[in-house]
Structures are given as structure tokens and as C-alpha cells.
Structure 1
Amino acid sequence: MLSDGAKIRALIVDDEPSARRRIKQLLARDAEVEVVGECTNGYEAVAAINECAPDLLFLDVVMPEVDGFEVLARLQSERLPLVVFVTAHAHYGPQAFKIPAIHYLLKPFDRKSFATALERAKTKLASARGSELTRALLEELRAHANHADRILVKACGRHFFLKAEELDWIEAEDKYVRLYVGRESYLLREAIGSFESRLDPKTFPRINRSTIVNIDRVLELQPWFHHDYRVILRDGTKLMLSRNYRQRLAELLGSKL
């Protein structure tokens, strides 16, 4: 419980229904915790945090459009709850950021690891230092969180690096991603969600479920059928922008769609 004896108000943010359900079931076992809401994306999360003012946030890192880090960046400092990051990507663990004090749960997690994270959160919240600690740790996280500058690829029997800035666009192909660089393309064995998490979201936004684009390559947006848009790149490549990803791209381009 909190220092004043009140229940801990928890908010769950994850785009995977099974993950939200798992966290909610585990929290339901604890009489000291009250789940005040569930969110399926970053936009909902920002609104819910501002409205509900939760004490504890279980936050997925990789989500479409607005990821976990962007959610926190959009909050006022006085609104920051204590954060437990939930991720399926090991490179988002504490060693990657060199910040061991922030909580991380690596999917799939068991009851023991969840209980450990929850107890650590309770301890900090009960000490009335939770919000101050969270603010300090998030500032440190933002300072250390670096996106990949180089991508290792294999072609013609050799391995070499591509600079992230050289990528024009990326397309999902089942469990692979195809990287387009000028007239060349390279196939990489990695799911698009995982690959997306290694890129700077301000430079490489998702424009539909299977496509990421380098925003510096965007030349034009053309209205298309059913309120969708076509994204025209500088080399003439035509890609589709779906409605679910339109708002994020508009924000990055500084325009309304």
C-alpha cells in the first residue's frame, strides 16, 4: 500500500490482449492493488494517465505509432507514475540502458519475476520516494537511450554495416524484414516490430502494419481511397499510409491530414 494506507492504483498499457490479461490476473491476486484501467496504445495511455493519475504503470515498450518511451515523453513531470516496463525485446533490458534501478519485465514472464517487480514497486511507493525516483530515472533513461546507428546485413557471402540513415524504407516479409537502400534491398531475419524498436521513431515511423519509412525520404502525400494516403518517396516509390498510422506521421511532418 501507499504511505497513507490507500490502495496502489495501477494502469496497464499493452497492445497485446493476452499480455494485458496476464498482468491483470496477477494483479488481481494482490489486495493492495487496484487496476484503474487498461490501454491498447500510446494515445490511450497518455489520456488515461492524465485522467486517472495512477501510482503504478505497467508499460509495453514497443507499440504502433506511440511507443512506451514516447508516452512518458508526452507527460508532465507531475503526472509521472512509477513505471514497470514490459517488453519482449531483451535489448530493452536494464543493461541496454545501464540503469539497473528501473523495473523491467521480459515477456514471457512467470509469477515469480512479476511478484519481484511488484514488490520492488511497492517498496518505492511506500517510501513516498517513488515519483521522485521515477523522474530521476526517466531523465537518465532518456539520456542513455540510443537507437541503432548501424545495421549489420549479409549479402553475397559477406557481412557489412549499413548506416540507419541510408535506409529508404523497410517492409515486413513474414518473419523477415526487407531493407530498401537506393536500388538495393537486403533481407534480414527479424520481425518488423523488433526491427522498428531499434530505430529512432522520429525518423522511422510505421505507415502501415508492414511498412516503415525514412521520413527524410518522403516527398509527397497523395489522398487515396477510403481516407487513406499514398506516400511518395523521392525516388518515386509509392507506399500506402493507413488511417491507424496517419496521426503519427502528420505530427512528425508538422501538418494535418
Structure 2
Amino acid sequence: MNRLRALLADDEVMSRTRLRRLLGNQQDVEIVDESVDGEAALASIRRLQPDVVFLDIRMPGLSGFGVLDTLSPSQRPYVVFVTAHADHALRAFDIGAVDYLLKPYSIERLQASLTRVRARRDAVGMPVPEIAEGYARRLAVPLGPRLQLVDVAAIDCILACANYVELCVGERRHLLRETMASLERRLDPRHFVRVHRSRIVRIDAVRDVEPLGDGRCLLRLCNGMRVPGSNGYRTRVQSALGL
């Protein structure tokens, strides 16, 4: 059995106690240390090199983000943020967090986080689309009281929808409150291209392109979608698709 060596970093005693108790029921999880502030968490990560850290955001001294900013990407363990504050989720996933647990969370929600950590660990060495440093790898989409994680590599197309964007993932649709311009800046331009003022496509999802004249085109995606491309974005489309 591949054990997960876990570090708990939270200044709230009751939160750490509950998390320790719940993780204690997992046969493959070993808690190697607990930290009550960011500096202690940083020292434990460097000394013990845990597989995963359950990390609070607001702690005395160094914050959870401060801990990660101090570490190089190669030094960072898998990170599950455990916090009462929902407003940091986008930043958390932008820097590669595996999950974002909002207090109070259920045992089922914690189980889902552990499943994601195990899947991330087991996927090491498998070919995955390379996302350049600084670009989003996952997007946090509100789903009732929860945040659903969407891998950007699974997105086929993004559509503008009033004050939202619609993420098209196969036959599924997810609404995210963000502008097209803002989201475009968060996506790796090697994998995504804006083809219209209200359309962004994943480059590898494009099956073929039909020129329509006047600089316009019709892109057919592997999932069957037909996405119009406008003259104003013709140069971007040609460069991205090698036309």
C-alpha cells in the first residue's frame, strides 16, 4: 500500500483535532507532523517532505499562500487548502492546489479530496498536457455550496454568456462568473486561442476549419460543436492552427 504522508497546518486547535481524527480512519494516511503557523509549516515541509499538506490560509505570521510562495514548485507537496474563506479559491487553483475544502466540511467531502490527491500522485509519470508556469491548470466553478474543479485540459470551448462564461466540457456545461478577457489571460496561449469576441477554443479540440470568406471561418470541434471565427481574430487562428 502506498501511504500518504500528511502534514496538518492550521492555527485552530479544534480544526486540527477534527481533521486528525478523520484522517486517522484512513488506512493509507500517515500524519507526520502538525503546525500551528506558517513558519512552522514551512520548516516541516522542508524537513519531512510530506506527500500532502492540509493547509489553512490565514495563520499567524506566514499565510498559507506565503508558505507556497517561499517554496519552489519542485519543493511543494500536494496541497489541499482547508479554510473558512471561499474568496481565495481561484488563486489556490491557479497555483496548483489539488483541492479547496471549505469549513465546515463533511467526511464525504474530505474523502473526495483524498481521492484527488491519490489520483494526482498515481498520475505521476503519465503524459499530460503541459501547462506553462503561471497559467491556470484547474478552474473552480460554484456548484451550490461547493466548488467543482474543472481541468482546463478537458475544456473544449468557452462561450461568453452575459456576465458569465460557459465552459464546454464534452456534453457538460459549467457557468463561471468571469469576463472573457480575464479568463483568456489565465489560459496558456499554447493551448487556447480566442477565435471570436465571444469564443475561445482549446487548440487540440479543433478537428477542422472551413473558410467562409471575408476572413471568417467555421471551426468544427472533436465533440461536434461548430464555432464561428471572426475576421478580427483571423491572425490568431491562423497562427495557433498553423494555417
Q: Normalised by the size of structure 2, how large is the TM-score? A: 0.50
Greater fraction of residues in helix: 1
Larger relative contact order (Cα-Cα within 8 Å, sequence gap ≥ 6): 1
